């Protein structure tokens, strides 16, 4: 930033270009000036308005544009720029327009509107384009109310003889009309007929057409029958590359496009694959890879061309070619492909390696019979050099595969064992160790895993050692074999003297719990088999905390931070339902994007889990409700309005044993209004089991700041479940406000705003259990047939098992066990195992059998729960919805 000190030299404007150019370069390179520096430089630059050399003036414009965001008081140049807009030098006019629109505010725009309108219809293309682009900028930065009145001028500019002006005019005209569907349709139609001169304008047109098509398409209609589709097909034969590409991409992205419609687009892309320009090849392969994720068959015709691309000098193209081929290739080409990937795996960056791993994982699930070859590939990849993300992706892939393909478990585990022998990421080691502890004891030869775990115990750092101790102990806890218990005991003996507290504590805890001390001391006789069984049972109980660990953690933190320790912490009060956190949903979304069948080439990368946000945090911090404790369940936020309305409202439903609290998060999107005393009136007349209401209004709802208002409804009976529609109306007093000064009128008036109904259904009342039972069968047996309800249904609106399964899961809001939510597409029958916790803590399990008949799906449902009424209610809810 030595430049900044030199900036004073600007005042003597002799060597200005020499100073300005490096300065602009610095700013362009991403060097940030502090606001003070920027302001200082800015004012020095403004002094250069005294010079009249075009090249210097251009630098001045550039500098102002770059500094506009950081410097203060940039408004000072308004007058100078307005003068330049009116000058007779076209270069000044165009540049001054762009800069002025950048620094101006909504009010000032009205003063310069006259000039801008004139410029739009100017003969000089540079000037006209500058005004059009500035108009777009104004709209995008919400300063564009005046721009909407320019339709006539912009339409006139559409006929300008310069292609560039036409392009910019089309873009602006679309921006102006974008919310008026009919107007857009008319505009696009007339442009399609007339044809655009500039390829860029045609590209825009293709995008608009695609948007219209995907909005207007209804079920049953083919794109072929829609008039606009012809335009896209026509563009596929355009003489310009970008138009052809854009049209192909647009067709590929249309929702539910049929293979026949897709075919011409694919063949255009196929021709691009052999083009000499890398950018064209990249664009084509990227789009093909996207198509392949949903319709692999449509792309198979390009396989030969794509195989050539594997040796492309550009590694991005090569990687995309590989991942696409992995999707489109037939089962017997897999081995050959794998060999080719192996050759260049070490040459590409981690980011691409992760993509390949994800693709392989998807492939494994598609062709389970090939899992052995693919696993070996992953195993080799594990041994390669690579960063944490890459290794993590592989471990995740292994975990995913073990769940989906049970027979692969043993291979998976042995690969992972090998991996932790030489793993530099403690996080991954502990994860694998935990997995070994969970799965290892049930494997045919548990003994062989113990060696790997023990090695960790000697060689690793404390975190991994602690995990290893736990893993070893679980072998002793699960296994019935006397000799195995004995060897574990001996192995644990050395950890009893470990230098790390955590490791030692764990070793001591497990040794005592499992009765292993006897082996360790050798003095007393080891416990007999019956005692062992009892001890094991005990330990399992001990290890099984009666509530999910994250809940316990949250509650303990709350207890400790409350500072009131009169009553001891009560573990039974911790909610058994899984905490619904936004991280939760994000993680699952991420897993889906990583491993779902719909995996796009770049999906799942760059998605980072945000900090865990507890949905119930706000309500528990509200003084009125803090005494209620933690809710049984908090539902994820649900919109009660469309996205683009005057006011938007979201609701989070918090369920308690005796109350339902509705947390409304309202946003005022009008900058000229201030709302006060905002509350939501809820009509509970349609819902049984609800009584008195307490309303906590939001005192103030300023523009753009979300505010919370609460409605707490008492439940009259614990076993009367609140189900039905709640009509919601937002009530408030409005004060008009001057958006620029932020001053509100004294007097307000009452108003109300209708919101969508809030539906409380069975799924609302059902929470996810904190931990899934390790075996559905034993949990099912444990629940017993006392409150069992069995029923059978015909699900007439479903024609496939998978849609019926999803519908039943959505309806009940329950969670699938043992991976039974994965349905084979061609399956004729399926068994779905569900578990859930019903308010206020009733365990529910469902055994559902689906059979595909000729017309519909038959469902045989068996429900077990801790309360008969709940079983009845749930069974009725299915028949009610059907």
Task: Tell me which residues touch another protein (CB under 8 A).
Answer: 11, 43, 46-47, 49-50, 73, 75-80, 82-83, 108
| Closer residue to another protein in complex, CB, 82/707 | 82
| Closer residue to another protein in complex, CB, 84/261 | 84
Gap between the Cα atoms of 427 and 534, Å rounded: 34
Gap between the Cα atoms of 505 and 542, Å rounded: 15
CB-CB contact of 758 with 725 (8 Å): yes
| Closer residue to another protein in complex, CB, 13/732 | 13
| Closer residue to another protein in complex, CB, 72/752 | 72
Two tokens, residue 309 = 């691309």
| Closer residue to another protein in complex, CB, 78/520 | 78
Torsion of CA 324, 329, 335, 337, to 10 degrees: -40
| Closer residue to another protein in complex, CB, 11/658 | 11
Helix (H, G, I), strand (E, B) or coil at 676: strand
Beta carbon of residue 43, minimum distance to another protein (angstroms, whole number): 5
Beta carbon of residue 46, minimum distance to another protein (angstroms, whole number): 8
Gap between the Cα atoms of 769 and 837, Å rounded: 6
| Closer residue to another protein in complex, CB, 82/155 | 82
Beta carbon of residue 49, minimum distance to another protein (angstroms, whole number): 5
In angstroms, the Cα distances linking 691 to 172, 655, 660, 688 are: 55, 14, 10, 9
Two tokens, residue 593 = 């994007």
Beta carbon of residue 82, minimum distance to another protein (angstroms, whole number): 8
> Closest by alpha carbon to 6, among 18, 68, 25, 47?
18
Beta carbon of residue 11, minimum distance to another protein (angstroms, whole number): 7
**789: enclosing H helix or E strand:** strand 789-795
| Closer residue to another protein in complex, CB, 10/450 | 10
Beta carbon of residue 305, minimum distance to another protein (angstroms, whole number): 53
| Closer residue to another protein in complex, CB, 82/669 | 82
3-state SS string over 754-781?
ECCCEEECHHHHEECECCCCCCHHHHHH
> Closest by alpha carbon to 156, among 117, 188, 186?
117
Beta carbon of residue 79, minimum distance to another protein (angstroms, whole number): 4
| Closer residue to another protein in complex, CB, 76/718 | 76
Beta carbon of residue 55, minimum distance to another protein (angstroms, whole number): 10
- The sign one gets for the Cα dihedral 199, 200, 203, 208 is negative
Beta carbon of residue 2, minimum distance to another protein (angstroms, whole number): 22
Burial of 638 (0-12, 13-18, 19+ CB in 10 A): middle
Beta carbon of residue 663, minimum distance to another protein (angstroms, whole number): 42
CB-CB contact of 335 with 368 (8 Å): no
| Closer residue to another protein in complex, CB, 67/184 | 67
> Closest by alpha carbon to 727, among 697, 700, 690, 696?
690
Burial of 302 (0-12, 13-18, 19+ CB in 10 A): buried
Gap between the Cα atoms of 376 and 391, Å rounded: 15
Beta carbon of residue 131, minimum distance to another protein (angstroms, whole number): 19
| Closer residue to another protein in complex, CB, 43/632 | 43
Beta carbon of residue 52, minimum distance to another protein (angstroms, whole number): 8
Helix (H, G, I), strand (E, B) or coil at 579: coil
Helix 388-404 vs helix 371-383: crossing angle, to nearest 10:
160
DSSP bridge partners of 674: 735
Torsion of CA 530, 533, 537, 538, to 10 degrees: 60
| Closer residue to another protein in complex, CB, 43/721 | 43
Helix (H, G, I), strand (E, B) or coil at 26: helix
Beta carbon of residue 650, minimum distance to another protein (angstroms, whole number): 39
Eight-class DSSP state of 578: P
> Closest by alpha carbon to 766, among 630, 639, 865?
865
CB-CB contact of 63 with 24 (8 Å): yes
| Closer residue to another protein in complex, CB, 49/628 | 49
Beta carbon of residue 68, minimum distance to another protein (angstroms, whole number): 13
């Amino acid at each position: 930033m030595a430049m900044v000190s030199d900036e004073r030299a600007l005042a003597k404007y002799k060597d200005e270009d020499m100073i300005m150019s490096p300065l602009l370069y610095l700013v362009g390179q991403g060097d940030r000036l502090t606001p003070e520096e920027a302001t200082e430089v800015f004012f020095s630059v403004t002094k250069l308005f005294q010079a009249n050399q075009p090249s210097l003036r251009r630098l001045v414009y550039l500098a102002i544009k770059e500094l506009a965001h950081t410097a203060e008081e940039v408004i000072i140049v308004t007058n100078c720029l307005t003068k330049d807009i009116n000058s007779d030098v076209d270069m000044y006019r165009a540049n001054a327009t762009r800069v002025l629109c950048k620094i101006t505010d909504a009010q000032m725009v009205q003063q310069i509107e006259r000039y801008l309108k004139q410029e739009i219809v100017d003969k000089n293309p540079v000037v006209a384009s500058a005004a059009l682009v500035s108009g777009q900028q104004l709209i995008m930065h919400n300063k564009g109310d005046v721009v909407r009145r320019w339709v006539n001028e912009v339409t006139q500019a559409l006929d300008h003889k310069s292609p560039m002006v036409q392009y910019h005019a089309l873009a602006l005209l679309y921006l102006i009309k974008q919310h008026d569907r009919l107007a857009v349709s008319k505009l696009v139609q007339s442009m399609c007929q007339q044809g655009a001169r500039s390829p860029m304008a045609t590209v825009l047109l293709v995008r608009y057409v695609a948007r219209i098509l995907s909005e207007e398409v209804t079920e049953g209609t083919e794109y072929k029958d829609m008039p606009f589709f012809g335009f896209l097909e026509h563009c596929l034969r355009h003489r310009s590359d970008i138009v052809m590409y854009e049209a192909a991409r647009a067709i590929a992205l249309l929702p539910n496009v049929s293979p026949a419609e897709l075919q011409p687009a694919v063949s255009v892309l196929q021709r691009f694959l052999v083009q000499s320009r890398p950018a064209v090849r990249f664009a084509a392969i990227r789009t093909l890879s996207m198509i392949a994720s949903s319709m692999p068959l449509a792309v198979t015709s390009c396989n030969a061309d794509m195989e050539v691309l594997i040796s492309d000098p550009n590694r991005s193209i090569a990687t995309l070619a590989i991942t696409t081929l992995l999707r489109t290739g037939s089962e017997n080409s897999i081995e050959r492909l794998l060999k080719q990937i192996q050759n260049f795996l070490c040459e590409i960056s981690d980011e691409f390696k992760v993509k390949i791993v994800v693709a392989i994982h998807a492939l494994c699930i598609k062709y389970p019979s090939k899992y052995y070859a693919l696993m070996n590939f992953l195993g080799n990849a594990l041994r390669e050099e690579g960063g944490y993300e890459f290794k993590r992706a592989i471990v995740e892939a292994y975990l995913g595969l073990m769940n989906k393909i049970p027979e692969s478990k043993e291979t998976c585990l042995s690969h992972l064992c090998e991996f932790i022998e030489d793993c530099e990421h403690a996080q991954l080691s502990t994860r694998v160790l935990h997995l070994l502890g969970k799965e290892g004891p049930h494997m045919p030869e548990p003994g062989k895993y113990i060696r790997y775990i023990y090695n960790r115990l000697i060689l690793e750092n404390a975190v991994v050692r602690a995990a290893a101790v736990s893993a070893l102990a679980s072998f002793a806890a699960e296994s019935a074999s006397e000799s195995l218990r004995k060897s574990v005991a001996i192995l644990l003996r050395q950890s009893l003297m470990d230098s790390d507290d955590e490791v030692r504590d764990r070793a001591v805890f497990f040794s005592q719990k499992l009765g292993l001390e006897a082996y360790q001391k050798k003095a007393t006789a080891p416990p007999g088999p019956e005692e062992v069984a009892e001890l094991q049972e005990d330990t399992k109980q001990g290890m099984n905390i009666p509530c999910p660990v994250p809940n316990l953690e949250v509650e303990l933190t709350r207890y400790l931070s409350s500072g009131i320790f009169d009553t001891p912490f009560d573990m039974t009060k911790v909610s058994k339902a899984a905490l619904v956190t936004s991280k939760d949903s994000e993680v699952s979304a991420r897993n889906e994007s990583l491993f779902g069948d719909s995996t796009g080439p770049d999906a799942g990368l760059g998605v980072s889990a945000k900090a865990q946000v507890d949905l119930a945090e706000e309500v528990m911090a509200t003084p009125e409700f803090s005494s209620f404790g933690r809710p049984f369940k908090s539902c994820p936020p649900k919109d009660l309005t469309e996205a683009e309305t005057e006011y938007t409202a979201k609701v989070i439903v918090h369920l308690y044993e005796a109350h339902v609290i509705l947390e409304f998060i309202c946003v005022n999107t009008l900058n000229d209004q201030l709302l006060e005393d905002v509350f939501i009136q809820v009509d509970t007349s349609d819902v049984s089991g609800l009584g008195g209401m307490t309303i906590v209004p939001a005192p103030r709802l300023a523009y753009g700041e979300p505010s919370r208002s609460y409605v707490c409804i008492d439940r009259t009976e614990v076993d009367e479940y609140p189900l039905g529609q709640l009509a919601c109306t937002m009530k408030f007093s409005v004060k008009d406000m001057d958006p620029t000064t932020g001053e509100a009128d004294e007097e307000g008036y009452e108003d109300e705003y209708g919101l969508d109904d809030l539906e409380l259904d069975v799924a609302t009342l059902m929470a996810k259990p904190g931990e899934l039972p390790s075996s559905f069968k034993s949990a099912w047996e444990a629940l017993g047939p006392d409150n069992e309800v069995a029923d059978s249904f015909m699900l007439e609106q479903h024609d496939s098992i998978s849609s019926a399964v999803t519908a039943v899961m959505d309806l009940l809001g329950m969670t699938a066990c043992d991976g039974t939510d994965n349905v084979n597409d061609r399956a004729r029958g399926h068994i779905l195992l569900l578990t859930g916790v019903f308010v206020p803590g009733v365990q529910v399990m469902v055994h559902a059998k689906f059979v595909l008949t000729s017309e519909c799906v038959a469902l045989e449902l068996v429900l077990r729960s801790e309360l008969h009424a709940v079983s009845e209610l749930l069974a009725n809810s299915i028949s009610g919805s059907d």
